[in-house]
Amino acid sequence: MTRSVIIAGGGIAGTVAAIALHDGGFAPVVHEAHERGADERGAFVTLAVNGLNALRDLGLDPGVLLAAGFPTPRMVLRGASGQPLAELPLGGPLPDGTTTTTIRRADLYAALRTEAERRGIPVAYGKRLVHAATDGPGVSVRFADSTSAGADLLVGADGLHSRTRRALDPAAPAPRYLGLLNAGGFTAGPVDPALRPALGVMQMAFGRRAFFGWAAAPDGSVWWFANPPRRTPAEPGEFTPDRWRAHLLELLAGEAFPAAALIEASTEVIGPWNTWDVPRLPVWHSDRIVLVGDAAHAVSPSSGQGASMAIEDAVTLGRCLARTTDMPAALAAYEAARRKRVEKVVAYGRRSSSTKTAGPVGARIRDAMMPVVMRMLHRNGDPQAWILEHRVA
């Protein structure tokens, strides 16, 4: 008999898990809290090759699926005076030409949901899970619209502030704030070539008061993000869009790199988002409920790995469940396959984040030491190979 699965969350982990489980002979239904299209605000995501490789394992062609994005296989890190500190590979090309790809978040979500629906997987919108419990041999869930559903398995793919995580373990640790805010934007069309970096190279600079990243899109526009350090998270409604833009312009005024000009050239300045991680969750699953993606282990956005970890989780879960009819054993195998790797990536992301919050003395030491340290680290190959060259077992 086909086993039914409720997937809470139609983001990256949820849609990919749905495709992986559907391939494994399960009957998943994705339940997304937002109405169709309502959650698709946001800036962009740089999806690393390890995540793209995992999509390929599901028979998806990243070149087709992410056609709205563009390759970003390299990164230049700059100091406060704009000088390059290091040029690093960001991932790829793999033997088939795949490289790390940058794509608008809305386009990524839409592509994954369209692919799930094309395979006949239902995606229900406006379904915010508010309660979940084991119910005899299965699970039952309730949504905010007072409807309910039951299934053989619940996959919690409901992101950083996961409700499923709390249902699974009411004592689960809360996400940890990392001392950085996030902003992003797109220039309104092509910009002056003097402001536009080389295609394929993500630029990142340690500004004096905020970290800034930018990349040229093939249409001549520039996509950018900023990370202002801040001791406490931003409160909802604390910044109007105009105040947020003014705040970023003030923080990035007078830098040797074109942050202020790029913000000025953008019609919409998105954010702020707070930056969090979830370093170690004691409970990932019960016999009938399991967490994937940010619900299980959010990593700092500074790692550039959150989306790829979500995809790797989802593909691994699908494989573990397809290998045996013993569901508790499959969920335990999934945790065993994933926990060590994601916790190592979370720790790596936290270290990357902390380089962005250094004070003036720390920043001078960082800018002086980084070129030397990077040269040493790269002497024996790419030190990020353990992240980027990983293949799902």
Ligand X SMILES: Cc1cc2nc3c(=O)[nH]c(=O)nc-3n(C[C@H](O)[C@H](O)[C@H](O)COP(=O)(O)OP(=O)(O)OC[C@H]3O[C@@H](n4cnc5c(N)ncnc54)[C@H](O)[C@@H]3O)c2cc1C
Q: Binder to ligand X among 57, 76, 200, 273 (CB under 6 A)?
A: 273
**Would you state the torsion angle of the CA atoms of residues 253, 259, 263, 266, taken in this order, to the nearest 10 degrees?**
160
Considering the rule CB under 6 A, would residue 159 count as an interface residue with ligand X?
yes
Listed in sequence order, the residues at least 6 apart from 368 whose beta carbon sits closer than 8 Å to its beta carbon are: none
C-beta of 262 vs 367, nearer to ligand X: 262
Contact 208, 255 (CB under 8 A): yes
Nearer to ligand X, 47 or 191 (CB): 47
The DSSP-derived string for 53-93 is HHHHHTT--HHHHTTTSEE--EEEEE-TTS-EEEEEE-S--
Rounded alpha-carbon distances, angstroms, from residue 219 to 19, 68, 198, 260, 377: 32, 11, 12, 21, 35
Please report how close the Cβ of residue 380 comes to ligand X at its closest, in angstroms.
Answer: 26
Among candidates 305, 296, 297, 271, which has minimal Cα distance to 384? 305
- Told to check if 304 binds ligand X by CB under 6 A, we report yes
Of the listed pieces 233-241, 289-297, 335-343, 384-392, which binds ligand X according to CB under 6 A? 289-297
Of the two residues 101 and 367, which places its CB atom closer to ligand X in the complex? 101
Half-sphere exposure of 50 (CA within 13 A, CB side): 25
Q: Which stretch binds ligand X (CB under 6 A): 83-91, 123-131, 169-177, 370-378?
A: 123-131
Cβ nearer to ligand X, comparing 56 with 127: 127
Does 177 bind ligand X (CB under 6 A)? Our answer is no
| 305 contributes a contact to ligand X by CB under 6 A | yes
Give the DSSP H/E element, type plus range, for residue 308.
helix 306-323
* Nearest approach, Cβ of residue 137 and ligand X (Å): 23
Length of the chain (residues): 393
Could you tell me the smallest distance in angstroms from the CB atom of residue 183 to ligand X? 8
Q: Which is nearer to ligand X, 314 or 367 (CB)?
A: 314
Q: Does 307 bind ligand X (CB under 6 A)?
A: yes
294 binds ligand X (CB under 6 A): yes
The yes or no reply on residue 302 touching ligand X (CB under 6 A) is: no
Identify whether the C-beta of residue 139 lies closer than 8 Å to the C-beta of residue 150. yes
Q: How far is CA 378 from the centre of its chain?
A: 25
Nearest CA-CA partner of 130 in 114, 112, 117, 149: 149
Tell whether residue 157 is a contact of ligand X (CB under 6 A).
Answer: yes
Q: Which is nearer to ligand X, 185 or 367 (CB)?
A: 185
- Told to check if 62 binds ligand X by CB under 6 A, we report no
Residue 128 touching ligand X (CB under 6 A): yes
Look at residues 106, 107, 147 and name the one whose alpha carbon lies nearest to residue 130.
Answer: 147
Residue that the structure tokens 């007072």 belong to: 146
- Our CB check for ligand X shows the closer of 98 and 182 to be 182
Site string for ligand X, 27-56 (x = CB under 6 A): ----xxxx----x-----xxx---------
- Cβ(353)–Cβ(302) under 8 Å? yes
Which range touches ligand X (CB under 6 A), out of 9-17, 250-258, 344-352, 375-383? 9-17
Judged by the rule CB under 6 A, the positions of this chain that interact with ligand X are 8-14, 31-34, 39, 45-47, 127-129, 157-159, 163, 182, 273, 293-295, 301, 304-308, 310
